[in-house]
Amino acid sequence: MIGMILCGGKGTRLRPLTEHIPKPLVELKEGYTLLDRQLFDLATAGCEKAVLLTGYLSDRIEERFGKKAYGIKVEYAVEEEPLGTLNAIRLGTEQVKCKGKPLIVRNGDVIADLNLKRMAREASPDVCDLSMFVTRMRSPYGIVELGDRLVRTFREKPLLDAYINGGVYVLPKFDPAIFSSHRTGNIETTVFPEVARANRLAYYKEDGLFWIAVDTSKELDQARKEYAARTDKPWGYEKILVSTEKYLTKELFIRDGFQTSLHFHEKKDETMYVIQGTGYVEFDDGERATLTRNDQVRIEPGKVHTIVATENLVLHEFSTPHPTDTVRKKDFYGVRAE
């Protein structure tokens, strides 16, 4: 499977930050950029190659990532003159000759906690030529709910029922003919409507995920706030919520079908509380503890275990204050964001 990342824009709405660095190299936290997150996602989804569709300050991106990142090969398709996302993708597909292969294409400024591996698996060439990730739109404003004559209540920037293009696409069996009607412009306004009219455009959705398109300073601040205490994992993420001298609280998000490393803690005594989703804790002695909403499972020091999600799983981990006390016995994915 081949991944492509659209990262050639000038990021004008992030100036002056992007006057000397390309937008994909804007940091979410120290040493971890937007493009790091993108490449990490492709690696955990099982891509063997990533093609970076670059333009503005392309040399800075190539200098940063070279020919390999997160265990996958990296190539560059440079668009000398910006002619829209369709042209950039065309250049990339012509360079790597991906006809008949599964292809993931994503916008370089989108952060999404979707299960990219499952999205690719569910995009069947028998059903569609292209599958689009869709996410529920959050209102940029507070919503006023009205009664007969009086205001009933307010809802502060709620999730709406409407879905928007989430900026991640899968072409399960790429055919260059999909571009035959157009050479330039944006793929969203040229190719996508045609594929939809032919009843060959599928969608993939997961509700309740963290999703943001980093286009302005305000959105960058939101993304950095999310990453202030967060570490991406091949199975999801962990985020420190509270850390004191007496106790530690983390949030763990584990994607459906994924699991943490097989590990143990020498000192840390922890209790897992299930916020949403289902799964189980499996211990190396064969014991298994199920996880459903509101369940609590204690894991004592020295207990070797892995946590498996059977649907998207959110846990709060309450423990003694030993944030780095993890001894890994087996990693299942061979890639890390740290």
- Whether 110 and 211 have beta carbons less than 8 Å apart is answered as yes
Alpha helices in 46-122 (DSSP H): 58-65, 85-96, 116-122
Say how far apart CA 6 and CA 305 lie, in whole Å.
39
Residue 133 lies in a domain: yes
- Whether 264 and 305 have beta carbons less than 8 Å apart is answered as yes
Blockwise average pLDDT, block size 10, the chain, 338 residues: 91 85 93 95 93 92 94 92 86 87 94 94 92 87 84 81 91 88 85 93 91 92 94 95 91 95 92 96 92 94 94 94 85 79
**For residues 283-298, b (16+ Cβ closer than 10 Å) or e, as one string?**
eeeeeebebeeebebe
Residue 159 lies in a domain: yes
**In CATH, what number is assigned to the domain containing residue 259?**
2.60.120.10
**In CATH, what number is assigned to the domain containing residue 60?**
3.90.550.10
**pLDDT attached to residue 338:** 56
320 and 219 both lie in a single domain = no
223 and 244 both lie in a single domain = no
Of 194, 227, 260, at which residue does a domain stop? 227
**pLDDT attached to residue 285:** 86
Say how far apart CA 144 and CA 248 lie, in whole Å.
38
Collect all residues with Cβ–Cβ distance below 8 Å to 230 and sequence separation of at least 6.
237, 238, 239, 240
Say how far apart CA 289 and CA 128 lie, in whole Å.
39
Neighbours of 4 (CB within 10 A): 28
**pLDDT attached to residue 230:** 95
264 and 137 both lie in a single domain = no
Residue 336 lies in a domain: no
**pLDDT attached to residue 99:** 86
294 and 279 both lie in a single domain = yes
pLDDT digits (tens, 9 = 90+) for 182-216: 878 888 989 999 999 999 999 999 988 899 999 89
**Total domains, the chain:** 2
